[in-house]
Structure 1
Amino acid sequence: MYFAALLARTEDGWEASDTELDDVETLSDLTDLAREASEEADTVLVLIEQEDAWFGVLRLDGEEDPRIYVSDAAAAARSSYGEILLTDELLGREPGDDDVADLDSLDLDGTEDGEPDNENDSDEEDEEAAASGEAVSHSPVGDRDILADLGVSEKELLALDEGDALSTIADALGAAEVLETVR
């Protein structure tokens, strides 16, 4: 089960609205939806979560390009809504590279069947594996400072539990009550 909400920061504070993603197929569609829903807002956040598996944040500041953070790339890659957020650039792949690994062959720890679990793998090796289409890592991807200026540091963002991440983010923003009204 999915939950998606839009938080828009206006002069009067944060406003929340339930966001329907059924007609959203691309990142561009999601960006357009967010911009249309809150034309007068200076900052717009689209918050998406799938049960306790993953969460994602898309941030728009005016006409700037969207900024994205996804808590678990592999879990999001198995989700139609997660695939919207997981751009080639975010995953470190060349645009249009369709040579993606079979995600069903991943263990829960993100390694492929039969591959040794090496805890000394570097982030660079994970990026190279993603770029070559070997696997999508269970690690977070995207802009880890996406909410830093709003009160959620990189360290706090990385420490969030998928089960209550959106509530924790909204609480840090001072928008917990408005988010709960659309939940």
Structure 2
Amino acid sequence: MSYFAAAVARGSSGWTAAELDLAGAADIDEVADRLRDLDSEADVSLLFVESDDAYLAILRLDQGEDLRVFGSDSVFAEESRLGALLLGDIKAPALEIDDVTEPPAPVADDDEPPVTEPDIEPVGDPDLLADLGISAHQLLSLCAHEGLMPADVTAEVCQVIGCGDQVEELRE
């Protein structure tokens, strides 16, 4: 299984980013420790884990404590060791994906309406980025939008929260 794990931390001097190696992590607490190691003094630390161009998991630590986790689809936990490691103990989010996949607005004849994929079952805390400018509704809508890859969702989220350039540099 291929994955990309980008950690970002917001400290007094702004956002810093690093790619994390999750190989050999025994449990989610060890993953959280690796995230903490990026910047132990950070106000906010986030880890974006994209797997097989199909799944996204986001982990958040505030001041190194209180781990919060969101996963784009519960199937990730069933299909891989990494998914089980990150999402195995998480319950369904407060919002159902059907609550955020509203019918598309009317469009001009030459435009295609946005397509959503309501068959996914997100898990965890969809509000984990709300104070950074990404509401639960926006996060769930991004994850449900057909054609958007996990990398696209990560890029969109990172642009909004202000660390898009740092994460993009990691991909290069």
User: How much has 1:63 moved relative to structure 2?
Assistant: 4.2
Write out aligned runs for 1:75-114 (5 A): 75-88=76-89, 90-91=90-91
User: Where does the alignment leave 5 or more consecutive residues of structure 2 unmatched?
Assistant: 97-118, 143-147
- Supply the distance in 1 between the matched residues of 2:91 and 2:21 (Cα, whole angstroms): 25
Out of 157, 167, 181, the position equivalent to 2:139 is 157
Q: CA deviation at 1:162?
A: 3.5
Q: Distance in 1 between matches of 2:169 and 2:134?
A: 22
Partners of 2:82 and 2:70 in 1: CA distance? 13
Structure 1 Cα separation of the partners of residues 71 and 155 of structure 2? 16
**TM-score, reference length from structure 1:** 0.70
Which is higher, the Rg of structure 1 or of structure 2? 1
**TM-score normalised per structure 2:** 0.75
2: distance between equivalents of 1:69 and 1:82? 11
Pairwise CA distance, 1:75: 2.8
Q: Which residue of 1 aligns with 2:158?
A: 170
CA distance in 1, matches of 2:149, 2:72: 8
Distance (whole Å) between structure 2 residues aligned to residue 87 and residue 62 of structure 1:
24
* Structure 1 residue ranges, 4+ long, deviating more than 2 angstroms after superposition: none
8 Å Cα contact 1:55/1:70 also seen in 2: yes
* Number of aligned residues: 139
Secondary structure, aligned partner of 2:66: coil
Q: Give the % identical residues.
A: 37
Aligned position for 1:67: 68
Alpha-carbon distance in 1 for matches of 2:70, 2:51: 14
User: In the alignment, is the contact (CA less than 8 A) between 1:91 and 1:141 conserved in 2?
Assistant: yes
Whether the 8 Å CA contact 2:53–2:149 is kept in 1: the answer is yes
* Residue ranges of structure 1 left out of the alignment (5+ in a row): 93-122, 124-136
Q: Distance in 1 between matches of 2:153 and 2:52?
A: 11
Say yes or no: does 1:18 pair with 2:23.
Answer: no
